[in-house]
Amino acid sequence: MENILQVNGLVKNFGGFTALQGVDLHIAPGERLGLIGPNGSGKTTLISCIAGALQNDSGTIRFNGDLIGHMPAYVRTRKGIARSFQIPRPFTSMTVVENLMVPLAYVGGMTGTKAKDQAMQILADMGLASKAESAIKHLSQVELRKMELARAMAAKPKLLISDEAMAGLAGAEVDEVLQILFDLNKTGITIIMIEHIMQAVMKFSQRVVCLDAGKIICEGTPEDIVKNPEVQRAYLGD
């Protein structure tokens, strides 16, 4: 089966600093992949290059077999790559449901009653239907994280990049978001999870990739990763 995402030799420089040093990454359709690494390892740079927020300096990115490295972010979104952000970025002047209607119109050309009905269905799936007409300021932290995922889902992704969706949440709240991601994956959506809460990564991921200093230092099952001395060294030092 062809990989949904194939990254080869990805390099990204910021002036004299090389943030990605020839990264190779592949993801199968429907896979749950955990992406871990200490702060400054290159995780955000890598997903920003995949999603189109940054332009890689060399290497290739293929999505569903198509070269996408030259494409702007909005074209990649329309092709099926969506990203939720660590810090939610809602339109604060809009209600919750209106926030979802923006990507529905932008990506799918859906407007009016049809768009609102679709937005309400997504909110129901996230457990946010009762908050549809609420102002953003009335949402709790976990509700903001769910809405950020809901906005990503409104783009109808084939690949969802979840960037620290659980950061700062309590244990029960982490479980809520984790269950949403499991449910989304069951519908066929491929998911990359970037997360510092290792318990969540280990529970969710079928395969884990660890970055350090812009290189992949190891990959494998969650059980293999936690025992790997290179991972332990990256996180804990020598």
Taken as a whole, the chain contains a residue count of 238
Residue 160 structure tokens:
């969802």
> Which residues neighbour 10 within 8 Å (Cβ) at sequence distance 6 or greater?
20, 22, 23, 24, 25, 46, 49, 56, 58, 59, 60, 61
What is the DSSP-derived secondary structure letter of residue 95? Answer: B
Q: Which two tokens stand for residue 29?
A: 């359709």
Say whether 187 sits in a helix, a strand or coil. Answer: coil
- pLDDT tens, 28-86? 999 999 999 988 999 999 999 999 999 999 999 999 999 999 999 999 999 999 998 87
Model pLDDT for residues 196-232, shown as the tens digit of each residue: 888 899 999 999 999 999 999 999 999 998 888 888 8
pLDDT of residue 173: 92
Which DSSP helix (H) or strand (E) runs through 146?
helix 141-153
Q: Domain-by-domain residue ranges, the chain?
A: 1-80+157-238, 90-156
Q: Tell me, which fold does domain 1-80+157-238 have in CATH? A: Rossmann fold (3.40.50)
